[in-house]
């Protein structure tokens, strides 16, 4: 009752931005990380949280040397703050729906974006020219977080996704291919298994990319271990290093199809073939505008079961 009374009495001075900052700090449990996420200075965030605590007349966080922990009052405010922010975002989405111009915030992982987006956006624009699509390219972990918090409407990524609150729908499964230099000795054989490939130095993307986890998980299921020599941040760089003879790799089929230089050779594996499932995710607890629903239906129509 005390919290409710304080919030009501301070309703005119309590700002949405304060609640967003409070939620970010509660999630990260660290002033530095929360400030970086909010693009604020740490002192500015500290002052905002202190002002919020003054408004409710009680501490919301217990300060420790390396982290902050919500007090009981903070836990209560966290639930209310999330409800308020969801209501505000949903209201804005409903109002935007009433206009003739629509906007969709789409997230997509880097190992899909350059190969999948151009055709996707071209097809969608032909059917819905009044809708603009704002694209954010980020690793899976960031997209899951932003989808949860309503910063993006939906995301396209590779499974698995570990989040109990998000809806996930598989669009298609894509084969992962062997990628080698044109003069590599593996090409002398008519058939190549994954077991033969892992004996060679491997070039993979770094840990922020789920593609590497897909490849390594497949190898683990085969009781195999890759010999890694490089961790790269861009798939195009992986292909370039392979072409120069620095090692071998396993590449998504969509990336091989758009290799304009043709400096690498791509082959399917004999036996069980590695693959990844491409899916779309969204937050079912948030308002889905008619534009987002149209985009989801477009994805289902053109890509499901591809």
In a shared domain, residues 81 and 203: no
Say what the pTM is. 0.69
In a shared domain, residues 9 and 154: no
In a shared domain, residues 185 and 198: yes
The domain tally of the chain equals 3
**258 or 167: whose pLDDT is higher?**
167
In a shared domain, residues 271 and 282: no
In this structure, of 16-30, 44-58, 202-216, 254-268, the range with the lowest mean pLDDT score is 202-216
In a shared domain, residues 115 and 82: no
pLDDT tens by residue, 137-148: 999 999 999 998
Q: b/e per residue, 124-157, with b = 16+ CB within 10 A?
A: beeebeebebeeebbbbebbbbbbbbbebbbbbb
In a shared domain, residues 38 and 80: yes
In a shared domain, residues 89 and 230: no
Is the Cβ–Cβ distance between 110 and 209 less than 8 Å?
yes
Given a cut of 50, whether residue 10 has pLDDT beyond it is no
In a shared domain, residues 213 and 244: yes
39 HSE (CA, 13 A, CB side): 1
In a shared domain, residues 165 and 289: yes
Q: What is the CATH number of the domain that holds 204?
A: 3.40.190.10
Domain-ending residue, one of 80, 95, 110: 95
| Arithmetic mean of pLDDT over the chain | 86
Q: Give pLDDT, residue 214.
A: 82
Q: Give pLDDT, residue 29.
A: 93
Domain encompassing residue 190: 174-275
Q: What is the CA radius of gyration of the chain?
A: 24
pLDDT tens by residue, 228-267: 666 788 888 899 999 999 889 999 999 998 887 778 999 9
**208 or 136: whose pLDDT is higher?**
136
């Amino acid at each position: 009752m005390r919290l409710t009374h304080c919030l009501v009495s301070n309703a005119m001075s309590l700002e949405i931005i304060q609640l967003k900052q409070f939620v970010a700090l509660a999630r990260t449990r660290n002033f530095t990380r929360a400030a970086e996420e909010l693009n604020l200075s740490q002192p500015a965030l500290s002052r905002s949280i202190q002002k919020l605590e003054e408004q409710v007349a009680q501490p919301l966080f217990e300060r420790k040397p390396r982290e902050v922990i919500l007090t009981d009052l903070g836990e209560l405010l966290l639930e209310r703050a999330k409800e308020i922010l969801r209501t505000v975002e949903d209201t804005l989405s409903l109002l935007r729906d009433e206009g003739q111009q629509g906007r969709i915030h789409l997230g997509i992982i880097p190992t899909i974006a350059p190969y999948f987006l151009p055709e996707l956006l071209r097809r969608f624009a032909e059917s819905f020219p009044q809708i603009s699509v704002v694209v954010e390219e980020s690793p899976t972990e960031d997209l899951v977080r932003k989808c949860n918090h309503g910063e993006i409407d939906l995301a396209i990524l590779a499974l698995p996704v570990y989040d109990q609150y998000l809806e996930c729908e598989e669009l298609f499964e894509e084969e992962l291919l062997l990628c080698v230099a044109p003069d590599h000795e593996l090409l002398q054989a008519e058939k190549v298994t994954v077991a033969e490939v892992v004996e060679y130095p491997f070039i993979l993307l770094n840990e922020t990319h789920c593609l590497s986890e897909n490849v390594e998980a497949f190898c683990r299921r085969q009781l195999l271990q890759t010999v890694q020599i490089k961790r790269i941040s861009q798939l195009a760089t992986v292909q370039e290093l392979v072409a120069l003879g620095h090692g071998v790799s396993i590449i998504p089929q969509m990336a091989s199809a758009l290799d304009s230089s043709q400096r690498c050779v791509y082959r399917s594996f004999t036996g069980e073939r590695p693959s990844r499932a491409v899916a779309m995710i969204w937050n079912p607890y948030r308002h889905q505008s008619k534009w987002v629903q149209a985009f989801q239906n477009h994805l289902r129509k053109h890509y499901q079961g591809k």
